Amino acid sequence: MLVEENFCKTTVLLDSGHFQVDLPLKGPNANGTLGESFDFARKRFYQLEKRFEKNPDLFLQYKKFIDEYISLNHARIVPLSMKSDQNENKYFFPHHCVIRNDSKSSKLRVVFDGSLKTSSGLSLNDIMYKGYTVQPDLYDILLRFRTFKYVITSDIEKMYRQVRINPKHTYLHNILWREKPCEKLQCIELSTVTYGTNCAPYLATRVLKELAVINQKTFPLASNALLSQCYVDDILCGQDSYENLVELHRQLMQLCKLGNFHLHKWCSNSNSLLNNINHSHKSDISQENYDIKVDGISNKVLGIFWNPNLDVFSISLPIPSEEKQVTKREVLSKIAQMFDPLGLIGPVIVIGKLMMQEIWKTKIDWDDFLEKIFL
């Protein structure tokens, strides 16, 4: 594949330990096909400012995100211009935020729009290869996770942003920002792999694979975990002996540190291991990182609740109360919400689908209430 060949030829390991990648452009002149994007991005930013006026708390959270981006050297303020030093059109990402109330760490997530069409009709995503899926699928990882006696899970913090972009391509990664409407617009150049570009999942996971491969002899357990037991930034791995589990944890910490990847949100079915993790990581193993359920503490792994104390998976079924009148639309919505990649509750979901077939035969409208026979 061209994208793989390009990755192998251009990816370098910097003195800082970070990997640096080229954007997988579709040919040497692909960037020349981009049109102007500044006006579109500016219009979208003005819309964002109106949201800030109505919600000052939202602005403070957003500002904190931008300030952190710059303080971590993941971005820098540059002179505002439409052209790069090579006289090519810069690309400006429109950006907005998504509020995730179920998140225990960061409620606000900023989304960058790499699919914005420029004046030429092409977006940044249009001129880049998406890349291929590097890691195993979710089913394989969850199935393998169940085979170990002792398991451990962790999350790679800000995974995408630990991968640097070649400076020759950062002119394609710009956003507009200012703290007050009375101020002039600033241009912030993003210097890391950016969420919202089509190639970001490939570049980040491919770097993780590269880190594992080149250090396989030194860290065999951790390398295997990154290669076969990792889904994007979530690591779900294990061993059949406590001694090997401790060694796996040690190797994971050291291997990921080599690539400047920080592991946090540790969880395990072995309390002994958690007690042995140093104090700085114990702070991550607190109830604020868990979803609290009536039957104990459950940690969400790849969309499924896992109780490490009981070492069992649980799947919540969205069943409405008996007093509530239900519509056909709501039934279909509840069935779609049943996330079960392992097929553990397949028979239950089938009953719901069979019920939906019977409801369909009645030819009632989407928002009509169901007859009692279906409740």
* Same domain (yes/no): 7, 33: yes
* Same domain (yes/no): 218, 197: no
Q: Say if 337 falls within a structural domain.
A: yes
Residue 69: how many other CB atoms lie within 10 Å:
21
* Same domain (yes/no): 189, 220: no
Helix extents (H) in 100-241: 138-145, 200-214, 220-228
* Same domain (yes/no): 247, 364: no
8 Å CB contact between 219 and 211: no
What per-residue confidence (pLDDT) applies to 338? 86
- Whether the per-residue pLDDT at 373 is higher than 70: the answer is no
Q: Report the percentage of the chain scoring pLDDT > 90.
A: 65
The lowest-confidence range among 125-134, 196-205, 317-326 is 317-326
- Whether the per-residue pLDDT at 308 is higher than 70: the answer is yes
Q: Report the percentage of the chain scoring pLDDT > 70.
A: 90
Residue 196 backbone phi and psi in degrees, to 5: 120, -15
What per-residue confidence (pLDDT) applies to 336? 87
* Same domain (yes/no): 209, 118: no
Query: By residue range, what is the domain housing residue 242?
Result: 204-312
Instruction: Work out how many domains the chain is built from and give that number.
Output: 3
Rounded CA separation 315/144 (Å): 19
Dihedral, 52, 58, 64, 69 alpha carbons, nearest 10: -80
* Same domain (yes/no): 67, 181: yes
Q: Say if 93 falls within a structural domain.
A: yes
What per-residue confidence (pLDDT) applies to 101? 67
Query: Where would I find the beta strands (DSSP E) of the chain?
Result: 12-13, 19-21, 75-78, 95-99, 108-112, 150-157, 164-165, 174-177, 186-190, 230-231, 234-239, 262-268, 291-293, 296-301, 304-307, 312-314
For 3-27, the DSSP string reads HHHHHHHH-EE-TTS-EEE---BSS
* Same domain (yes/no): 167, 232: no
pLDDT per position as a tens digit, 334-362: 888 888 999 988 898 898 899 889 888 88
Rounded CA separation 255/261 (Å): 9
8 Å CB contact between 209 and 261: no
Q: Say if 145 falls within a structural domain.
A: no
Q: Say if 68 falls within a structural domain.
A: yes
- Whether the per-residue pLDDT at 284 is higher than 70: the answer is no
What per-residue confidence (pLDDT) applies to 243? 95
Quick one: CA dihedral 274, 280, 281, 282, positive or negative?
positive
Between 272 and 237, the higher pLDDT residue: 237
Q: Say if 159 falls within a structural domain.
A: yes
What per-residue confidence (pLDDT) applies to 288? 41
- Whether the per-residue pLDDT at 177 is higher than 60: the answer is yes
- Whether the per-residue pLDDT at 326 is higher than 70: the answer is yes
Local structure of residue 320 (DSSP, 8 states): P
The lowest-confidence range among 25-29, 225-229, 263-267 is 25-29
First to last CA, the chain: 53
* Same domain (yes/no): 103, 242: no
Instruction: Show which of 283, 312, 341 is a domain's final residue.
Output: 312
Q: Say if 164 falls within a structural domain.
A: yes
* Same domain (yes/no): 127, 164: yes
* Same domain (yes/no): 195, 209: no
Nearest to 112 by CA among 35, 48, 33: 48
Q: Which residues contact 99 (CB under 8 A, 6 or more apart)?
A: 107, 108, 109
- Whether the per-residue pLDDT at 52 is higher than 90: the answer is yes
- Banded pLDDT at 142 (limits 50, 70, 90): very high
Instruction: Show which of 203, 219, 239 is a domain's final residue.
Output: 203
* Same domain (yes/no): 119, 173: yes
- Whether the per-residue pLDDT at 296 is higher than 50: the answer is no
Quick one: CA dihedral 327, 330, 334, 335, positive or negative?
positive
- Banded pLDDT at 146 (limits 50, 70, 90): very high
Q: Say if 148 falls within a structural domain.
A: no
- Whether the per-residue pLDDT at 84 is higher than 50: the answer is yes
Quick one: CA dihedral 218, 220, 221, 226, positive or negative?
positive
* Same domain (yes/no): 89, 189: yes
What per-residue confidence (pLDDT) applies to 282? 47
pLDDT per position as a tens digit, 21-42: 999 999 888 888 899 999 999 9
Rounded CA separation 261/253 (Å): 9
Q: Say if 142 falls within a structural domain.
A: no
Whole-prediction pTM: 0.87
- Whether the per-residue pLDDT at 315 is higher than 80: the answer is yes
